[in-house]
């Protein structure tokens, strides 16, 4: 980060230099002059966040205020601005002496580029929106099964309600015999399911050694991967961490997941955007979850537990080569 500070000083010099000539220029020119050093529109984060679709993410009035005077907003403790500041390495976006017309032109330019280049094409794994799950997938099969079971139960209840409307004599012997049959059938089902699923529990899998152990540290609002464990915020100064990690294909990875502040959810999605594995990230605990990465591709990681207002920013990525 020391290096980054020097780079920013240089960028600031370059950026403020262009100030006087800017006021008649279009949003595009302004963006190139004053923003492109730190931001892209749909090509990923630089020193500041990727501004793709920022017009959809934030309110217009907030954006106008932020772009014209970011430092005042951070100083005033605006929650979103402070979170961004924390997330982007505590680098304050400079005040670029823009008037409202220039700010509007810039925002219009960002909207325009966002419209022309959908993020799914332009943006890398961690920031691309997740496409909706496919209709025919194991996860949807569970949904359909659930709906079918619900309909069956409702039908049975309706049938029972209708058939018992008028009092009738019941043959208790036959009823009890039926009850025994149903009980035995239920028992057989339960034992079969238990026998089929028991070998798939994590306790059995723990007997094999993983090919690789990756430590995951969650905090508001990021996931950090590292080769050694991180126990405190102080450790982050000494441990190399990243929100992207590369893994060889056909590797069994054990993630050891913890959190530094509040509970988070560590969810790994597959190349087809189906949830592959998840575990809670809890302060003071290390939860283990194993994923066998077979196919090459991008595996997004999202937070699965609402952890505070910047929750949706918690994204990381695993690339399998």
Does 230 contact ligand HEC by CB under 6 A? no
Cβ distance to ligand HEC smaller for residue 75 or 249? 75
Minimum distance from CB of 181 to Cu ion (Å)? 49
Looking at the DSSP bridge assignments, the partners of residue 298 are 319
Site map (CB under 6 A) of ligand HEC, residues 11-50, x = contact: xx--x------------------xx-xxx-------xxx-
Residue 58 beta carbon to ligand HEC: minimum distance, rounded to whole angstroms? 5
Q: Least distance from C-beta 67 to ligand HEC, angstroms? A: 5
- Please tell me whether residue 312 binds ligand HEC under the rule CB under 6 A: no
Reading the block at residue 283, the tokens are: 């302060």
Please pick, from the candidates 73, 230, 303, 320, the single residue that binds Cu ion as defined by CB under 5 A: 303
Nearer to ligand HEC, 62 or 319 (CB): 62
Among the listed residues 40, 53, 69, 70, the single contact to ligand HEC using CB under 6 A? 70
The only residue of 38, 113, 291, 307 in contact with Cu ion, by rule CB under 5 A: 307
Kindly tell me which of 107 and 259 has the beta carbon lying closer to ligand HEC.
107
Shortest distance (Å) from residue 198 CB to ligand HEC: 47
Kindly state whether residue 51 participates in binding ligand HEC, applying the rule CB under 6 A.
yes
Tell the smallest beta-carbon distance from residue 278 to ligand HEC (Å): 26
CA distance 139 to 186: 25
User: DSSP assignment of 5-61, as one string?
Assistant: HHHHHHHHHHHHHTTGGGGGS-HHHHIIIIITTT--SSS--SSS---TTHHHHS-HH
Query: Token match 């955007």: residue?
Result: 273
Residues in region 99-118 near ligand HEC by CB under 6 A? 106
Which is nearer to Cu ion, 151 or 309 (by Cβ)?
309
Give the nearest distance from C-beta 289 to ligand HEC in angstroms: 30
Binders of ligand HEC among residues 73 to 102 (CB under 6 A) are: 74, 84-85, 88, 91-94, 96, 98
**Which CB, 27 or 270, lies closer to ligand HEC?**
27
Interacting residues with ligand HEC (CB under 6 A): 8, 11-12, 15, 34-35, 37-39, 47-49, 51, 54, 58, 63, 66-67, 70, 74, 84-85, 88, 91-94, 96, 98, 106
Which residues here bind Cu ion, judged by CB under 5 A?
264, 303, 307, 311, 314
């Amino acid at each position: 980060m020391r290096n980054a500070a020097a780079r920013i000083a240089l960028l600031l010099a370059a950026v403020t230099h262009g100030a006087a000539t800017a006021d008649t220029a279009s949003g595009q020119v302004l963006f190139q002059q004053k923003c492109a050093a730190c931001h892209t529109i749909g090509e990923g984060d630089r020193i500041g966040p990727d501004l793709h679709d920022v017009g959809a993410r934030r309110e217009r009035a907030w954006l106008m205020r932020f772009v014209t005077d970011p430092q005042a907003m951070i100083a005033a403790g605006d929650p979103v601005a402070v979170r961004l500041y924390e997330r982007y390495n505590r680098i304050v976006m400079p005040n670029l002496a823009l008037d409202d017309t220039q700010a509007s032109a810039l925002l219009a330019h960002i909207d325009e580029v966002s419209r022309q280049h959908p993020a799914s094409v332009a943006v890398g794994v961690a920031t691309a929106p997740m496409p909706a799950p496919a209709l025919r997938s194991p996860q949807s099969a569970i949904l359909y099964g659930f709906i079918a079971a619900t309909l069956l139960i409702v039908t049975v209840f309706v049938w029972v309600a209708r058939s018992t409307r008028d009092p009738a004599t019941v043959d208790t012997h036959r009823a009890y015999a039926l009850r025994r049959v149903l009980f035995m059938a239920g028992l057989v089902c339960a034992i079969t399911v238990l026998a089929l699923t028991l070998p798939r529990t994590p306790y059995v899998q723990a007997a094999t050694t993983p090919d690789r152990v990756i430590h995951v540290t969650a905090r508001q609002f990021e996931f950090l991967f590292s080769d050694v464990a991180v126990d405190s915020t102080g450790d982050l100064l000494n441990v190399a961490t990243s929100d992207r990690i590369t893994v060889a294909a056909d590797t069994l990875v054990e993630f050891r997941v913890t959190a530094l502040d509040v509970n988070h959810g560590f969810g790994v999605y597959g190349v087809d955007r189906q949830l592959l594995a998840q575990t809670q990230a809890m302060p003071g605990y290390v939860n283990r979850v194993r994923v066998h990465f077979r196919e090459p591709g991008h595996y997004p990681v999202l937070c699965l537990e609402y952890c505070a207002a910047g929750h949706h920013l918690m994204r990381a990525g695993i690339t399998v080569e």
